[in-house]
């Protein structure tokens, strides 16, 4: 519901040549934002926006009711459900690392105690730790080697390094 407010001076009411009441009232349309309305039927209080053709019943315009100087009207806005727009979805990149599984495996097997395989996949911080601790005293090297063999080892972005298909 939208609250519309305006003053109604008596000189706004006039008759068109066809005898149909055609009163222009200065308010704001709830649908298109126009500030003009035409009274189509003064008996029922039916008004219409001349631009978007939305129609409302305004009880304050019925002649049997006294016309106050200040009117508050509740107008129902015509609701149209938004139409679903076709959306193009970009294809998702594969969630697999761009690093070569064979390279990571050989680097881990021959230079894993120095953390070279970790530097290769982008894990710089742990690669330096592996270098100074000789692969976490050999235990980290062995765990990484098994993880690479099982394709569970991940690169710095979190993507698994898998055996190419």
pLDDT tens digits, 11-33: 444 444 444 444 444 556 777 77
Residue range 48-58, pLDDT digits in tens: 777 777 777 76
**Domain presence at residue 40:** yes
The whole-angstrom separation of Cα 140 and Cα 113 is 8
**Domain presence at residue 44:** yes
**Domain presence at residue 137:** yes
Residue-level pLDDT at 32: 75
Ramachandran angles phi, psi of 16, nearest 5°: -85, 170
Q: Judge if 13 and 65 occupy the same domain.
A: yes
Strand segments, DSSP code E, in the chain are: 2-7, 24-26, 36-41, 46-48, 55-57, 70-75
Residue-level pLDDT at 140: 95
Q: Judge if 58 and 17 occupy the same domain.
A: yes
Contact 93, 157 (CB under 8 A): no
Specify the 3-state DSSP secondary structure of 118.
Answer: helix
Q: Judge if 60 and 24 occupy the same domain.
A: yes
Residue-level pLDDT at 23: 46
Q: Judge if 7 and 71 occupy the same domain.
A: yes
What is the tally of structural domains in the chain? 2
Q: Judge if 8 and 68 occupy the same domain.
A: yes
> Which residues in the chain land under pLDDT 50?
1-25, 67-72, 74
pTM score, whole prediction: 0.45
Residue-level pLDDT at 134: 94
Ramachandran angles phi, psi of 147, nearest 5°: -65, -40
Q: Judge if 64 and 105 occupy the same domain.
A: no
Q: Judge if 50 and 112 occupy the same domain.
A: no
Q: Judge if 10 and 61 occupy the same domain.
A: yes
Residue-level pLDDT at 111: 95
Q: Judge if 67 and 109 occupy the same domain.
A: no
**Domain presence at residue 164:** no
DSSP state of 127: H
The whole-angstrom separation of Cα 161 and Cα 152 is 7
**Domain presence at residue 90:** no
What residue numbers bound the domain in which 113 lies? 101-149
**Domain presence at residue 27:** yes
Q: Judge if 66 and 16 occupy the same domain.
A: yes
Residue-level pLDDT at 108: 95
């Amino acid at each position: 519901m939208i609250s519309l407010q305006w003053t109604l001076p008596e000189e706004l009411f006039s008759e068109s040549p066809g005898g149909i009441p055609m009163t222009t009232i200065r308010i704001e349309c709830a649908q298109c934002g126009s500030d003009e309305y035409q009274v189509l039927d003064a008996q029922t209080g039916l008004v219409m926006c001349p631009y978007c053709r939305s129609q409302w019943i305004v009880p304050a315009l019925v002649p049997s009711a006294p016309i106050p100087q200040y009117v508050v009207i509740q107008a129902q806005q015509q609701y149209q459900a938004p139409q679903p727009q076709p959306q193009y979805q970009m294809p998702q990149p594969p969630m697999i690392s761009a690093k070569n599984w064979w390279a990571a495996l050989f680097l881990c097997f021959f230079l894993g105690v120095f953390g070279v395989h970790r530097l290769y996949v982008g894990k710089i911080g742990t690669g330096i730790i592996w270098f100074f601790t000789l692969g976490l005293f050999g235990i980290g090297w062995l765990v990484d080697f098994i993880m690479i063999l099982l394709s569970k080892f991940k690169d710095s972005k979190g993507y698994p390094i898998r055996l190419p298909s």
